[in-house]
Amino acid sequence: MCLYRAAPPSPPQNVQIIAVTSKSVTLQWSPPKSTGGAQLTGYIIEKQLVGTKTWEKIVTLDTSITQHVVTNLKEKSQYYFRVFAENSMGLSQPTNSELVTLKTHASMDKYHYI
C-alpha cells in the first residue's frame, strides 16, 4: 500500500508587473502547476528595496486573488518582488519579479505640460 504525502506547492507562475506609478506597483501571477497534494491556503508577497539584503513581507492573500497593488513605495526607487504559494505543508519556492524602477512623480502625468 502506497501512502501519498503532501508537500509544499510549486512556485506561482508568470509573475508579471502590469503597472508602475511613482509609489505603487501592480503584480499579477498564475497559480502554481502543483498544489503539492494539499489545498492552497494563500499567496504571500514580499518586496526588497535594491541596495538592501532584506525581504519584507507585504501581504498574505486569499487563493482566489492573483493580482495585487503594492502601495506606499519609495518614489524613484528600485524594487524586486516575489510571490510564494502556501499550503498546509508550507511555502513554495518564490517566483521573483523583474527589477522594477518606480516612476518619478513629475513624469506620471504626461498630459499636463506647463
pLDDT tens-digit readout, 40-64: 999 999 999 999 999 999 999 999 9
Mean confidence (pLDDT) of the chain: 91
Task: Break the chain into its structural domains and give their ranges.
Answer: 13-100
3-state DSSP of the chain: CCCCCCCCCCCCEEEEEEEECCCCEEEEEECCCCCCCCCEEEEEEEEEECCCCCCEEEEEECCCCCEEEECCCCCCCEEEEEEEEEECCEECCCEECCCEECCCHHHHCCCCCC
Superfamily (CATH H level) for 13-100: Immunoglobulins (2.60.40.10)
Whether the predicted pLDDT of 70 surpasses 70: yes
pTM: 0.87
